[in-house]
A and B are shown apart, each in its own frame.
Chain A
Amino acid sequence: GAGVSQSPSNKVTEKGKDVELRCDPISGHTALYWYRQSLGQGLEFLIYFQGNSAPDKSGLPSDRFSAERTGGSVSTLTIQRTQQEDSAVYLCASSLWSGYTFGSGTRLTVV
């Protein structure tokens, strides 16, 4: 596609439920990133995928968070047993070189 596509754009979930966030990167971009942006905070790195290499998961805040990238394209970020502190905008980005292109994000609200 023309840009990075994320879905859903908004998600409200009850505390304790699992959620899945989807990212479809720009075609041909080999690198894919997930970041989180909380109110008043900067962008927090979560995970990085590059081709068939092992992902860099060093930014995932707890073992409730996981992500996968299938076929080198679409990625899914899963948060299990959501907590209120998980409320944030989850941004996906892809790149071919070092400049990232961000998707429009998923705003997650845990109530």
Chain B
Amino acid sequence: QKEVEQNSGPLSVPEGAIASLNCTYSDRGSQSFFWYRQYSGKSPELIMFIYSNGDKEDGRFTAQLNKASQYVSLLIRDSQPSDSATYLCAVMGSGGSNYKLTFGKGTLLTVNP
């Protein structure tokens, strides 16, 4: 059973701070990694994806990937109250399952004004 682990939180940060969300995964063959944001009562929304080791930046969001450590993270700079949501890490399967995303249970982020 391939697993994706996230700290459930809640993670609470003040407005303007950097929020750091972490994820580890068990499938060493995985090549594609995704971060989804889910507001309460809403469906998940894709915000970032990363395939290569290192950092990928998109506006206030930076995804970081370290395949050797099987670790993915999401940094949110200048956090805003509107960033308050559950963040889901998702990992694409490898080999014959290279179409199936396995999701972590999510980290609840609260940004305090």
Contacts and interface: CB of A to CB of B under 8 A. Distances in A.
B43 A48 contact: no
B61 interface: no
Interface residues of B, number: 19
B105 interface: yes
B32 A98 contact: yes
Q: How large is the interface on A (under 10, 10 to 19, 20 to 34, 35 or more residues)?
A: 20 to 34
A42 B49 CA distance: 19
Interface in A30-64: 31, 33, 35, 40-43, 45, 48, 50, 56
Prevailing SS type, chain A contact patch = strand
Interface string B44-77: 1110010000000000000000000000000000
Contact of B105 (A33, A35, A41, A45): A41
Interface in B77-113: 88, 92, 99-106
Interface of A: 31, 33, 35, 40-43, 45, 48, 50, 56, 91, 98-105
5 contacts: A42-B105, A98-B34, A98-B49, A101-B46, A104-B42
